[in-house]
Structure 1
Amino acid sequence: MLLRTLTALVFFGFPAHADVWSFGTPSGNIECIVGEGFNGSDIECTIYKRNQRAKVSALAACPTSRGITFFMQERGGVQGACTAPGARAIGTQRVAEYNVEGKFGGFTCYSATSGLQCRNLDGHGFHLSRNNQQVF
């Protein structure tokens, strides 16, 4: 995807000029990659350690020993996948402190001790925490 400069990155304190960047929660258990291009923005977030099975029927069979990744664009629904055993991203660039909401690209995300919730322009989104992985 051809990428262009992100317009609003105040929320997580990211550099003003970025095409693809990442952030994670303070626990290090959730990592996200965000990109913005000519066709809009997208976000992909992965939770690595989970205590319960996902509340998404298509992912309910994913063992708790594996992570779950949710992907969405700024418009449309959410897609999910069970991660490969031992899969881990290369590490995040920034930390989204708890109790902070951010708006960037076509998304609004809220980081809290209860988990990370992200929503797109259509109101679709996901919630990730050790005890709850769901889409809406």
Structure 2
Amino acid sequence: MTRRRLPCLAALLALAAPPAMADGFGFRTPSGNIYCNGSVDGGDLSCTIVSRDTGSAPAGIACPAGNELHVDMLQTGAVRAGCGGPSGRPSAYTDVAEYGATAAFGRISCVSQRTGFECRNADGRGFLLSRAAQRIW
């Protein structure tokens, strides 16, 4: 499989960040079901999955189906996760991480695939988000 790189961080900023958000960026997967935002320096990345199958939350996370699941990651250390309220609305971000694209945000690397969106930090900690399953390691 040939992997395409996500647009460089500067391109994401130029396309997506209004002046008030000059210190951050945002993008979504092609389905609009997963969206992420982070800081320009690559220090952190936060992603949300809007719609999940019943019973698909990671072990130890109480997040009923119908509620958004949020994950937060730094360049090193454990991934944090939490449950948000129901929204049912896909992201309005216009920058898209096409399937097969890869990107690095500082020491965080991500890949967008039809089977899910996966990111890892410098410690090898990470997450996988998809409608069918969510994992944190």
**What's the TM-score once normalised by structure 2's chain length?**
0.80
Pick the structure with more strand per residue.
1
> Which residue of structure 1 lines up, in the alignment, with residue 80 of structure 2?
79
> Which residue of structure 2 lines up, in the alignment, with residue 24 of structure 1?
28
Q: 1:130 to 1:89 in 2, by over 3 A?
A: closer
User: Can you list the C-alpha shifts for 1:80-118, whole angstroms capped at 9, x where unaligned?
Assistant: 001112275863241000011111212110000001000
Q: Report the Cα distance in structure 2 between the residues aligned to 1:23 and 1:73, rounded to whole angstroms.
A: 17
> Which residue of structure 2 lines up, in the alignment, with residue 128 of structure 1?
129
Pick the structure with more helix per residue.
2
User: Can you list the C-alpha shifts for 1:44-70, whole angstroms capped at 9, x where unaligned?
Assistant: 0000011132352221x3111111010
Q: Report the Cα distance in structure 2 between the residues aligned to 1:27 and 1:128, rounded to whole angstroms.
A: 12
How many residues of Structure 1 are paired with residues of Structure 2 in the alignment? 124
Q: Report the Cα distance in structure 1 between the residues aligned to 2:128 and 2:75, rounded to whole angstroms.
A: 16
Q: Report the Cα distance in structure 2 between the residues aligned to 1:15 and 1:127, rounded to whole angstroms.
A: 21
Q: Report the Cα distance in structure 2 between the residues aligned to 1:107 and 1:51, rounded to whole angstroms.
A: 27
> Which residue of structure 2 lines up, in the alignment, with residue 96 of structure 1?
97
How much is the aligned-residue C-alpha RMSD, in angstroms?
2.2
Q: 1:87 to 1:51 in 2, by over 3 A?
A: closer
Unaligned runs of 5+ in 2: 14-22
Q: Report the Cα distance in structure 1 between the residues aligned to 2:133 and 2:68, rounded to whole angstroms.
A: 12
SS at 1:58 equivalent: coil
Unaligned runs of 5+ in 1: 1-9
